[in-house]
């Protein structure tokens, strides 16, 4: 972390933790970002999300260090960042985390909300894509930017961003209404070629995410 005066505070809630990465006030942070690590881990690891046989891990395990590295990168760029990590599976872990996100946003607005995932279906499906709430113009703009930058980082096909509507799967994850929210599906862990690229690009993935963030924020 380049900004040695920045602070990191872990706040524990029932079912999840928030790690707050903060730039000192005198450094005038430009914006605040929220990052959700998709799905959950903890002792049971019963909701680790999509699993890649090639990687030998699920998306929660893959994205956890990426989120922390992204937060460090955010601080070095003068941004505040909250990393939300769920330990309880399903709605039990998601709802209180979402409620805390909205509470934080009401007190000190987030400029962007990211959710880190990778996908899995079968070996034929491949590529990177993003999802956003269909009525959010800023969400669509952010999703378009992240799709381009992330797909180029992993050298995978860029699929069209998806605007989620009511009753569509995962719509509750982006229908927050108060901030642009983007689900980033880096690639398909079930596709051998995609999975190999996920492995090769993991250590620098946070840099691509920050590149996309700064483009979105016009910094």
- Nearest CA among 75, 88, 42 for reference residue 61: 42
Share of the chain above pLDDT 90, in %: 62
CA separation for the pair 35, 82 (Å, rounded) = 6
pLDDT of 43 reads 43
CATH number listed for the domain at residues 7-217: 3.40.630.40
Distances in whole angstroms, Cα of residue 167 to Cα of each of 117, 171, 185: 20, 7, 20
Domain boundaries, the chain: 7-217
Q: What is the pLDDT of residue 4?
A: 60
Question: What is residue 42's three-state secondary structure?
Answer: coil
Position 198 scores a pLDDT of: 98
Instruction: Give per-residue pLDDT as tens, 92-105.
Output: 667 788 888 888 89
Q: Which pLDDT tens digit goes with each residue over 76-89? A: 999 999 999 987 66
Q: Across the chain, which distance is largest between two alpha carbons, in Å?
A: 51
Query: Could you give the CA distance from residue 66 to residue 166 in angstroms, rounded to a whole number?
Result: 30
- Indicate the burial class of 4 (C-beta count within 10 angstroms; 0-12, 13-18, 19 or more): exposed
């Amino acid at each position: 972390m380049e900004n040695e005066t920045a602070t990191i505070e872990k706040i524990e809630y029932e079912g999840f933790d928030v790690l707050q990465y903060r730039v000192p006030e005198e450094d005038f942070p430009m914006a605040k970002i929220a990052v959700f690590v998709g799905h959950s881990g903890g002792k049971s690891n019963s909701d680790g999300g999509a699993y890649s046989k090639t990687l030998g891990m699920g998306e929660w395990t893959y994205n956890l260090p990426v989120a922390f590295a992204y937060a460090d990168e955010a601080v070095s760029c003068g941004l505040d960042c909250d990393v939300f990590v769920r330990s309880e599976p399903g709605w039990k872990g998601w709802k209180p985390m979402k409620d805390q996100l909205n509470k934080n946003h009401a007190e000190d607005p987030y400029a962007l909300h990211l959710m880190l995932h990778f996908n899995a279906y079968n070996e034929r499906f491949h590529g990177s894509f993003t999802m956003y709430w269909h009525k959010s113009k800023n969400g669509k703009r952010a999703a378009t930017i992240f799709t381009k930058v992330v797909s180029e980082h992993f050298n995978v096909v860029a699929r069209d961003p998806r605007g989620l509507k009511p009753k569509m799967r995962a719509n509750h994850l982006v229908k927050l209404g108060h901030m642009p929210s983007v689900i980033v599906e880096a690639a398909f862990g079930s596709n051998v070629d995609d999975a190999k690229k996920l492995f090769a690009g993991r250590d620098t993935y946070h840099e691509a995410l920050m590149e996309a963030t700064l483009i979105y924020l016009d910094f």
